Structure 1
Amino acid sequence: MPAYHSSLNELPDIRQVGNLAILPIKTKYRGPAPLADPAEADIIDETLDLFRANSLFRNFEIKGPADRLLIILILFVSDCLAKIGASRTVPNQLEATKLLNTLAVDNFPIPGDANFPLNAHYAPPANRADAEYLRGYLTQVRQELAQRLVEKLYADGTGKLSKWWMSFQKRRFMNRSLGS
């Protein structure tokens, strides 16, 4: 059974930095990301929808630039769940939001950096300006993804973490981690 791929691979006229798609997102955070139509699903919605199914796969065939972004975001969700699971006490929603927002804005490697774990599958940015744009874009996307993940984790209204999401905290997509 093959892994689930991004439906945004076929979008025309998408900017790429290296070979990573710069897709529009619905966000309240400031940054360089293009804004998406609020009525349609964006890459963050797709990441949250496909995370649990794709985290079961060890192999993932990349079919386009949106898949490369999807891989990075799935690995970030995995790191977020591991961070929450590693807390001494179970965090409430506010504590989890702070924890994951800090993780989202912490310094992280981008494709082309020596310590980026998937450099074999990603082209580095062409120049320093593209690298800074990519770092800003990924920071903005990570912040929005962390916010939406917390909403999913505490969606039942009881203030307790979803056991269905937290059961994936030790599972590694493609046996990799971003090392955040």
Structure 2
Amino acid sequence: MPAYHSTFLDDAADNRLVGNVVLLPIHTNFRGPSYPPQQDYDIIDETLDLFRANSFFRNFEIKGPADRLLIYGILFVSDCLSKLNRSVNFKDATRILNNLSLDSFSLPGDVGFPLNSLYQPPANKNEADLLRSYLQQFRQELAERLLKKLYEDDANAPSKFWLAFTKRRFMNKSL
């Protein structure tokens, strides 16, 4: 059975590419280069919807630049879940994930980036700065929406159905 791919593969032609990662529009209140999409469903919603299903796959065939953004999002959600444990309340989880989303991170082409074989580095410093600010905005919004899903039933304990995926490693990688 193949992995689930992004539904935004066709939208990549309409949006800016940095390296081979597409900068898709997202609904967000965080500062950054992204703009609001035309529809209600965006790449963040898709990442959260496909995370649990795709986390069972060790291989993922990349069909376009939107899949690369989906892979990055899935790996970031996996990192977020690994930072939380069963006894963390909503307030502490918010602090932990905000710190994680704002922490320094490597870009494609940097030495510490785990998927350099799949991603092209930005062409110049301006593109690298654009990609860094987009990915930071992407990470902040993804962490905020993940928290809403984790704590929608109980503000004192995260959902066990999400935390069951803390040990799973998508493509045997982590950010």
TM-score interval w.r.t. the shorter chain? Answer: over 0.9
**1:174 is matched by which residue type in structure 2?**
M
Aligned twin of 1:176: 173
Cα offset for 1:157? 3.6
CA distance in 1, matches of 2:129, 2:145: 24
Q: Secondary structure at the match of 1:121?
A: coil
CA distance in 2, matches of 1:92, 1:155: 12
Q: Secondary structure at the match of 1:115?
A: coil
Superposed, 1:1-180 pairs within 5 Å as: 1-11=1-11, 12-37=13-38, 39-85=39-85, 90-157=87-154, 159-178=156-175
Q: Structure 1 stretches (4+) deviating beyond 3 angstroms? A: none
- TM-score after normalising by structure 2: 0.96
**1:151 is matched by which residue type in structure 2?**
K
**2:141 is matched by which residue type in structure 1?**
E
Shift in CA distance, 92/19, structure 1 to aligned 2, threshold 3 Å? same
Cα-to-partner distance string for 1:73-124 (whole Å, 9 max, x where unaligned): 1000000000013xxx721111101110100010001111111000000000
Alignment root-mean-square deviation, CA: 1.1
Any gaps of 5 or more consecutive residues in structure 1? none
CA distance in 2, matches of 1:7, 1:156: 29
2:88 and 2:156 in contact (8 A); partners too: no
Identity of aligned residues (%): 60
**2:157 is matched by which residue type in structure 1?**
K
**1:40 is matched by which residue type in structure 2?**
D
**1:128 is matched by which residue type in structure 2?**
K
